Amino acid sequence: AQKVLNPYKWWMIRGNHETREVNGNVKTYREGSFLHQCTSIFGDDDGRLIWEAVNDFFDTLPLAARVGGQIFCVHGGLPKEMCQDGSSLQMINEIACPLKMIRRGEMVHSMLWS
C-alpha cells in the first residue's frame, strides 16, 4: 500500500519469502504459508491462480539495489562470488529477469538467504 501511495519513496527488493519454494511450502509453513492463505480465502482454484499471479510479480522484483551509488541493499547478503578479485556489481546486473526458479548454491540463493 505504501508503494502505491508513495511510488518514488519506496523501493521493493526480493527476499527469500518472495519465492515459490518458500511461500508455496505448505508442508513446512502449514497455514502460515502464502499458498495456504490464498487457497483458504479464495478457494483452491482461484487461490492458486492468485498465488501464481503474485509470484509472477515477485519474479520481477530486483534482487538488490544501490542507494546514492554508495549503499548496497540486498535481503540476504553479499554472495561469496562477489568477494573474489575481479568481481563487480555487473554480475548481479547480468542475472536474467524475471527469475522463476532459484536453486541452492547459486549466487541468487546467497543473495536471498545469506
What is the domain range of residue 59? 2-113
pLDDT of residue 38: 98
Q: CA distances (Å), 71 to each of 9, 30, 66, 74, in order? A: 16, 36, 5, 10
Contacts of 8 by beta carbon, 8 Å cutoff, 6+ apart? none
36 is catalytic: no
Question: Considering 17, 36, 75, 109, which one is annotated as catalytic?
Answer: 17
Please confirm whether the linkage preceding 98 is cis (ω < 30° from 0). yes
pLDDT of residue 23: 95
Averaged over successive runs of 10 residues, the pLDDT of the chain (114 residues) comes to 81 92 95 97 98 97 89 85 73 84 82 86
Query: Strand, helix or coil at 35?
Result: helix
CATH of the domain at 35: 3.60.21.10
Structurally, how many domains does the chain consist of?
Answer: 1
